Amino acid sequence: MRNRIIGLAILSSLVLLRPAASSAVQYKVDPAHTAVTFQVRHLFSKVNGRFDKFDGKIDFDPGQLEKTVVEGSIDAASINTNEEKRDKHLRSKAFFHAEKYPKITFASTGVSDVDMAKKTGKLHGNLTIHGVEKPVVLDVAFLGAGKDPWGNERAGFTAKTTINRKDYGLTWNETLETGGVLVGDDIEIEIDAEGLVEN
C-alpha cells in the first residue's frame, strides 16, 4: 500500500512538471499591412527610407511573451528613399552590394524585460547585413489580435532599434568642408508589422 502511494505521488509530480501545451500561433507577416522603415542623418537633417520587399513569420502566444520566436528576411535591392540616384548608390558595392548580399536577415534568440501589463519586451536576435552577422536588441510591443471583417486571424506588432552601419561594413562617406561627414553612422529602424494566420 505504501509503495502504491509513493508511486502515485511520483506520477502526480511528473504530471505537474510536464510543460503545458503551447498555445502559440504562427503569423506570417502581411506585406500589404507592414512597413520596414529607417532614418539616418544626412548633413543637417535626416533621410527617411524603407524596404519594399520582405517576408517573415512570428510564433506568438500573448500569454507567454517570453516564448516569442521571430524570423525575417528583407530584399536589400528593394531599398527606397524616393530618390532613384541615391537608391542606386545604396544598392551598389559602396553600401549594401545587393548583387552579392541580396538578403538582410533576422533570427530571434530570446526575449527579456517582459512587461505583461503593457505587452512589451526586448527581442534579442542576430541581424545579418552585407554578409555580417551581429547581435541586436529590439524594443517590441504587441498591439492586439483578432479577426478581420473576413474572418482572418490577425495580430499587430511594433519593433524599434538603432544600429551602427559601420558594424556591418557599410562605411562609405564623404567629408564636408566644415569637417563633418555627409552620412551619419546610426541607423534608426522601425517595423510596424501585421501578422496573418494562413489558412
pLDDT tens-digit map of 121-172: 999 999 999 999 999 999 999 999 999 999 999 999 999 999 999 999 988 8
Q: What is the pTM of this model?
A: 0.84
For residue 79, give the C-alpha cell: 531599398
Give me the chain's average pLDDT, please: 87
Q: Is residue 167 part of a domain?
A: yes
Q: Is residue 11 part of a domain?
A: no
- Residue 17 is predicted with a pLDDT of 40
8 A C-beta contact, residue 105 and residue 130: no
CATH code of the domain containing 76: 2.40.128.110
Pairing of β 183-196 and β 35-42: antiparallel
- Residue 13 is predicted with a pLDDT of 42
Q: Is 65 helix (H, G, I), strand (E, B) or coil?
A: helix
8 A C-beta contact, residue 43 and residue 182: yes
pLDDT tens-digit map of 64-98: 999 999 999 999 999 999 999 999 999 999 999 99
User: Which residues form the domain of 186?
Assistant: 22-196
9 confidence band (pLDDT: 50, 70, 90): very low
41 confidence band (pLDDT: 50, 70, 90): confident
- Residue 19 is predicted with a pLDDT of 40
Q: Is residue 14 part of a domain?
A: no
Q: Is residue 5 part of a domain?
A: no
- Residue 168 is predicted with a pLDDT of 96
The total number of structural domains in the chain stands at 1
